[in-house]
Amino acid sequence: MIKRELVIVGGGPAGMAAAIAAAESGVKDILLLERDQHLGGILNQCIHPGFGLHRFKAELTGPEYADRFIKLVRDSSGIEVSLRSFVVKLTGEKRLSYLKPGALEEIEAGAVILATGARERTREMIPIPGSRPAGIYPAGLAQKMINMEGWIPGREAVIIGSGDIGLIMARRMALEGMKVKAVIEIQKTSRGLVRNVVQCLEDFGIPLYLRHRVTGIHGAGRVEKVNVAEVDDEYRDKPGSGFEIKCDTVLISVGLIPENELLEMAGAEMDEKTNTPAAPEVNLTSIPGIFACGNACKIYDLADWVSRDSEKAGKMAAEYLKKVLSNQRRDL
Amino acid sequence: MSSHDVIIVGAGITGAAIARELSGFKLKTLILEKEAEAAFGVSKSNSGIIHAGTQNDPGSLKARLCVEGNRLIHDELARDLGLNFIRCGQLIVVFDLKDLPELEKIQRDGETLGVEGLQIVDRLWLNAHEPGLGPEVQAALYVPSAGIISPYRFVYALIENAVKNGVELKTSHKVTAIRRLKDGKHRFEVTASGKIFKAGFLVNAAGLFADELSAMAGAPGFRITPRKGEEYLLDKKREHLVNHIIFPLPTADSKGILIIRTSDGNPMIGPTAHDTGNKNDLATTDEGLAETLKGARRMIPSISKSDIIAYFAGLRPVCGHDFLIRHEEKVPGLVNVAGIQSPGLTAAPAIARHVRGILEENGLELIPRKDFHKQREKPVHLFQIPLSKTRELIKKEPAYGDIVCRCELVSAQEIRDAVKRGARTLDGVKFRTRAQAGRCHGGFCTTRIIKLMQEELGLGPKEITKRGPGTELISDERK
Ligand SMILES: Cc1cc2nc3c(=O)[nH]c(=O)nc-3n(C[C@H](O)[C@H](O)[C@H](O)COP(=O)(O)OP(=O)(O)OC[C@H]3O[C@@H](n4cnc5c(N)ncnc54)[C@H](O)[C@@H]3O)c2cc1C
């Protein structure tokens, strides 16, 4: 078992900011584990502008914003980056196991920061009844397909939920020549940023149906149509309000859930409703020496705030390590 | 034109088991399947329970073949084919002690059929062995020989082994016409996907479409009515929700809403049972969800709607109350294997032996093959093995350390293995490996899987489908 001072799981904006801050606070031995082939996390597929307005007073795209941090990580002598490294196990004693092509590694860490991000809520979590044709995508997957691979997922789309990824994808698909027929939102207001409602829907003439829900998705091979109904204050369908929209593509954008399976595995207390660590303060968990930051800790609407809070997590881990060290010295 | 001793129509569990059974003999056997892969019909969407044989009329064919199928899976196939069969046992619970006589009847009927170890247990026993049961449950019948299996991987194992022993499988081959011949050796001329195949014997294992196929061959006379069952899968975090499979007392049409353990870890609740006139109606409904939750929570109250991560509907191919397995005297050489509703998955190996007997009685010559390989190499699944074993595997093949599906721990090498073993679609990869079957539903891994499949199959991205032609995922590529 190899010993490392600080292990950070996740190389998105959260993990990178935490690593840089920890290094600046004097931690000399930091291992940053990222399961993808590159650092940057979800920012890599966010090719639209709108990042860094607060942080850098500049309007950057996701990859540009990530690049500024990647450079700092690479320049820091205390940070070792291991890509395509997937953590499969974490214990309360801060022992980690991770897989990478060709190896299974085991580590004993002095402190751990979990910056594992979030996953999208799915159709199944709502749950929307109907059949299971091809053509239903979590909005983030559609984003990755179009922006990273150049794959256009269909021709006529309906977006369920008005989260920011869904709004941004409405514009993205419209720009790619797809017809975006509607965004359906069960709440009274959009879940996304106002600027996204204006710039991504209104500017493109895409209708937003507030207080409506999709009551069914249908299709034998590909999606053929969705059923929609208006809802009342108790989210019950208003009789007679139902209509259908023909489409071959459905995007689901109904929010994010923090990915905290490792923290749970380590035995930390969780807030079951939000799937976040149960702790008195942001970035803390119920296990001393294990921290969480970024979307794994709570869902943020701007990467700028992720970077800001994650730096605090890096500092907290550095202070924790110092304290442990000085306690050990005193005990000697 | 190609010539065969036996053509089997349908590569579900029934057709697969028959093919594997016949592959032990010197025969030329062909399976024709309309879907892009095997196990894409009824056999993909069921409860995955290997029933003990109780809850069937003891005089029925179903009951006898179920008990025998369970025994064959436990004693032979699980080992020979590397199936992950788990005999976790089953509890049939009652909410009222007045119903005890019904449990006793199920016990007596089961014992008559040779089901072993049946035992009525009281609430004290249940508290110790199934602590999550709700307060309404009073007693249960414990059925130790019931178990669970992955239904599609069961089909794939049988098919792989049959193919290894010389059976030919043609997927994306829908049988559209059958002509009867009188040229001695060949009695059937079968048209599928514009090609012609001839054979002496025709085995109809076409599931929901067995009635149409039989009519095509000149033997109308029965009708399959689909009975829909909706099932809801729970998050793997609830893996230890129950220790057994839990049933209420059965009703006339169904075994009721069950709490099902699955061999992959996610518990499942369902199935409903409602007749539908449409053989393609695989939609789940708000009503089905409400009915399932209500039934399940009466037995295990801690189940909540937010535990659900996936759902599907399956159609039972119903034809009366029993299986319909017979040689059609009016169409010599045609063997119908129809109405294979529950417990068809369990009974399949016994059905296969039974069909072999019928074929032999009707003139098929069966000469055992000396070079029959009854064993199949088990595919690697990281989620089934301890980390120490994973370490050894990665040493031999580095790509087992390259994780593609994070929710279910599936490596790039497992995806490649699946394609090498026959996966041609994203669903085929999912059924074989579990990649995309977890809580994120492929949100993170789909693009990577598509790229791996492209590499292995030499296809363009637009040619990759969810489950065959008409289910493409990508409509255009950006210029
Ligand atoms: C909700 C539900 C739960 C169930 N639970 C259980 C359980 O727990 N345990 C159990 O033992 N059983 C269970 N069953 C029953 C079990 O699933 C079925 O008995 C079994 O899968 C039937 O298999 P099959 O091969 O006969 O049919 P299928 O799997 O449907 O196979 C028939 C094949 O024939 C093909 N085909 C049809 N027409 C043509 C044509 N013209 N040309 C070429 N190919 C054709 C189809 O595409 C299909 O692949 C359940 C069923 C349902 C619906």
Q: Chain B residue closest to A273 (CA)?
A: B306
Mean pLDDT, consecutive 10-residue segments, chain B of 479 residues? 93 98 98 98 96 93 98 98 97 96 96 96 98 97 98 98 98 98 88 97 98 97 96 93 95 83 95 94 95 96 94 96 97 98 97 98 97 96 94 96 94 98 97 93 94 97 97 93
Q: Which of B387, B384, B419, B405 is nearest to B447 (CA)?
A: B405
* CA B407/CA B385 separation, integer angstroms: 16
Q: Are B384 and B86 in contact (CB under 8 A)?
A: no
CATH of B86-147+226-315, one of 3.40.50.280, 3.90.25.10, 3.20.20.70, 3.30.9.10: 3.30.9.10
Q: Coil, helix or strand for B22?
A: helix
B323 CA distance to ligand 1 middle (Å)? 12
Contact state of A84 with B402 under an 8 Å Cβ cutoff: yes
Give strand ranges (E) for A43-90.
49-51, 60-61, 79-82, 86-90
Low-confidence ranges of chain A (pLDDT < 70): none
pLDDT value at residue B236: 87
**Phi-psi bin for B148: left (phi > 0), alpha (psi -120 to 50), beta?**
beta
Phi, psi of A162 (to 5 degrees): -115, 40
Which residue matches tokens 């009342």? A232
Instruction: Report the b/e string of B245-279 with b at 16+ CB within 10 A.
Output: bbbbbeeeebbbbbbbbbbbbbbbbbbbbbeeeeb
* CA A176/CA B356 separation, integer angstroms: 57
Among B51, B186, B244, B354, the one annotated catalytic: B51
User: What single-letter DSSP state applies at residue A238?
Assistant: P
* CA A80/CA B198 separation, integer angstroms: 65
Straight-line distance from the first to the last Cα atom of chain B, in angstroms, rounded to the nearest whole number: 43
Q: Are B429 and B449 in contact (CB under 8 A)?
A: yes
Q: Strands B2-9, B119-122: parallel, antiparallel or unpaired by DSSP?
A: unpaired
pLDDT value at residue A82: 98
Neighbours of A184 (CB within 10 A): 24
C-alpha dist (Å) from residue B243 to A3, B30, B128, B129: 39, 41, 11, 8
* CA A268/CA A263 separation, integer angstroms: 6
User: Around B176, how many Cα atoms within 13 Å sit in the side-chain half-sphere?
Assistant: 9
Domain B382-463: CATH superfamily is BFD-like [2Fe-2S]-binding domain (1.10.10.1100)
Domain covering B1-85+148-224+319-378, topology: FAD/NAD(P)-binding domain (3.50.50)
Choose from B293, B302, B474 for mutation: most chain A CBs within 10 A: B474
Contact state of B474 with A145 under an 8 Å Cβ cutoff: yes
Q: Coil, helix or strand for B33?
A: coil
Q: Which of residues 190-249 of B touch A (CB under 8 A)?
A: 237
A129 → closest Cβ in B286, B387, B403: B286
User: Which residues lie closer than 8 Å to B101 by C-beta, 6 or more apart?
Assistant: none
Q: Where are the domains of chain B?
A: 1-85+148-224+319-378, 86-147+226-315, 382-463
Q: Quick check: is B51 catalytic?
A: yes
Q: Strands A225-230, B49-50: parallel, antiparallel or unpaired by DSSP?
A: unpaired
B256 CB under 6 A from ligand 1? no
pLDDT value at residue B1: 65
> Cis peptide before B398, with omega less than 30 degrees from 0?
no
Neighbours of A104 (CB within 10 A): 20
ipTM score of the complex? 0.95
Q: Where are the alpha helices (DSSP H) in A139-259?
A: 139-144, 164-175, 194-196
pLDDT value at residue B237: 87
At residue A326, what is the residue type? S
B403 → closest Cβ in A86, A129, A215: A86
B271 CB under 6 A from ligand 1? yes
Q: Which of A70, A80, A83, A79 is nearest to A35 (CA)?
A: A83
Contact state of A100 with B390 under an 8 Å Cβ cutoff: no
Task: For residue B105, give how far its alpha carbon lies from the nearest alpha carbon of chain A (Å).
Answer: 38
Q: Which of B51, B439, B126, B142 is nearest to B300 (CA)?
A: B126
B342 CB under 6 A from ligand 1? yes
Q: Are B85 and B149 in contact (CB under 8 A)?
A: yes
Q: Which of B150, B162, B159 is nearest to B381 (CA)?
A: B150
B318 CB under 6 A from ligand 1? no
* CA B69/CA B49 separation, integer angstroms: 12
B426 CB under 6 A from ligand 1? no
Q: Which of A16, A102, A87 is nearest to A310 (CA)?
A: A16
Measured by CA distance, the residue closest to atom 27 of ligand 1 is B207
Q: Which of B256, B246, B249 is nearest to B130 (CA)?
A: B246
pLDDT value at residue A59: 95
**Phi-psi bin for B270: left (phi > 0), alpha (psi -120 to 50), beta?**
left
Same fold, B1-85+148-224+319-378 and B382-463: no
Contact state of A135 with B439 under an 8 Å Cβ cutoff: no
Choose from B390, B426, B471 for mutation: most chain A CBs within 10 A: B471
Q: Are B325 and B354 in contact (CB under 8 A)?
A: yes
User: Which residues lie closer than 8 Å to B455 by C-beta, 6 or more apart?
Assistant: none
Q: Please give the structure tokens belonging to residue B410.
A: 């599936």
Give strand ranges (E) for A12-135.
30-33, 49-51, 60-61, 79-82, 86-90, 95-100, 103-114, 118-120
A154 → closest Cβ in B282, B311, B475: B475
Going along chain A from its start, the domains and CATH numbers come out as 2-119+256-331 (3.50.50.60), 122-252 (3.50.50.60)
Neighbours of B70 (CB within 10 A): 25
Looking at ligand 1, which atom is closest to the CA of residue B345? 11
